[in-house]
């Protein structure tokens, strides 16, 4: 509706012109404010919202293709996109721990694990994983090679970051055991750091190793892993990236020892 001229004598054309100028200014200011607000929000907003966990809980109750297809936009906005952003943003922070740690934000073939389960040889035919997982591997070792690295697992009430080597092949396992025997002081520093190094264990001491060795229980391990757990409230906090990096620093002594045992730089 066109504005009518008032009794002050201001013409309709002047009022319309003034209105257009004011409106243009207001619109410009209005458009600028949300941009700044979004930038501020991005700096302080958490990567993973409570909706992240809600989706995983819903998926656990409805683990079928029909439900997932209907809710795929939720998956993409609440899980996939924030997870890839987390991988991208944590990459330079991990390089301050070791320049050999790789965080790859590619949606396929990168650090983020696929949500689709391999059910070919499984009795459980549920098509989807009910957790989010990310792998940060050693640049020299690669994703498929048994080398020290980091693994982030996020699910309701079961979130943690793990370090070390899991289910290594016999040659890798033997190198680690020999390093413990040959460099007991270095291994003692790992133990004294407060880490709980654990994994599946042999029932008897491995062949070729002294059964009375001070670290015989460690020599019997078939995995060398340690971890730090996170509460749901930590994962959904704006500080989660910082807390994740601090946890990785706590685990660094194990990864450093294992890398040196395997002849890899760290």
Question: Count of domains in the chain?
Answer: 1
Domain that holds residue 121: 50-261
Q: CA angle 18-21-25, nearest 5°?
A: 140
Residue 255 contacts residue 98 (beta carbons within 8 Å): yes
Among the residues of the chain, which ranges form H helices? 12-44, 50-61, 65-70, 72-75, 81-95, 170-182, 184-192, 216-219, 232-235, 240-250, 252-261
Q: Which pLDDT score is estimated for 59?
A: 98
Asked if residue 13 belongs to a domain, the reply is: no
Asked if residue 232 belongs to a domain, the reply is: yes
Asked if residue 23 belongs to a domain, the reply is: no
Helix (H, G, I), strand (E, B) or coil at 76: helix
Quote the pTM value.
Answer: 0.81
Asked if residue 197 belongs to a domain, the reply is: yes
Q: Which pLDDT score is estimated for 146?
A: 81
pLDDT in tens, the chain (266 residues): 433 333 333 343 333 444 444 444 443 444 444 544 443 445 568 999 999 999 999 999 999 999 999 999 999 999 999 999 999 999 999 999 999 999 999 999 999 999 999 999 999 999 999 999 999 999 987 776 689 999 999 999 999 999 999 999 999 999 999 999 999 999 999 999 999 999 999 999 999 999 999 999 999 999 999 999 999 999 999 999 999 999 999 999 999 999 999 999 99
Asked if residue 8 belongs to a domain, the reply is: no
Asked if residue 242 belongs to a domain, the reply is: yes
Asked if residue 41 belongs to a domain, the reply is: no
Asked if residue 19 belongs to a domain, the reply is: no
CATH of the domain at 229: 3.30.930
């Amino acid at each position: 509706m066109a504005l009518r001229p008032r009794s002050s004598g201001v013409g309709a054309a002047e009022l319309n012109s003034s209105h257009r100028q004011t409106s243009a200014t207001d619109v410009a200011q209005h458009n600028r404010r949300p941009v700044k607000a979004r930038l501020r929000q991005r700096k302080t907003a958490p990567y993973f919202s409570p909706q992240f966990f809600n989706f995983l809980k819903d998926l656990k109750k409805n683990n079928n293709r029909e439900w997932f297809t209907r809710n795929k936009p939720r998956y993409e906005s609440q899980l996939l996109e924030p997870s890839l952003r987390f991988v991208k943003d944590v990459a330079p922070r991990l390089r301050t721990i070791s320049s050999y740690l790789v965080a790859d934000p590619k949606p396929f073939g990168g650090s983020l694990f696929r949500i689709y389960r391999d059910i070919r040889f499984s009795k459980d035919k549920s098509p989807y994983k009910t957790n989010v997982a990310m792998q940060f591997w050693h640049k020299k070792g690669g994703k498929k090679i048994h080398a020290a690295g980091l693994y982030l697992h996020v699910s309701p009430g079961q979130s943690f970051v793990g370090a070390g080597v899991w289910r290594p092949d016999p040659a890798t396992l033997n190198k680690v055991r020999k390093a413990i025997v040959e460099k007991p002081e270095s291994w003692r520093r790992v133990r004294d750091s407060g880490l709980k190094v654990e994994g599946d264990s042999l029932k008897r001491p491995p062949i070729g190793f002294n059964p009375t060795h001070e670290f015989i229980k460690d020599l019997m391990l078939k995995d060398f892993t340690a971890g730090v757990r996170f509460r749901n409230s930590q994962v959904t906090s704006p500080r989660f990236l910082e807390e994740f990096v601090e946890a990785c620093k706590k685990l660094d002594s194990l990864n450093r020892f294992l890398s040196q045992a395997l002849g890899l730089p760290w």
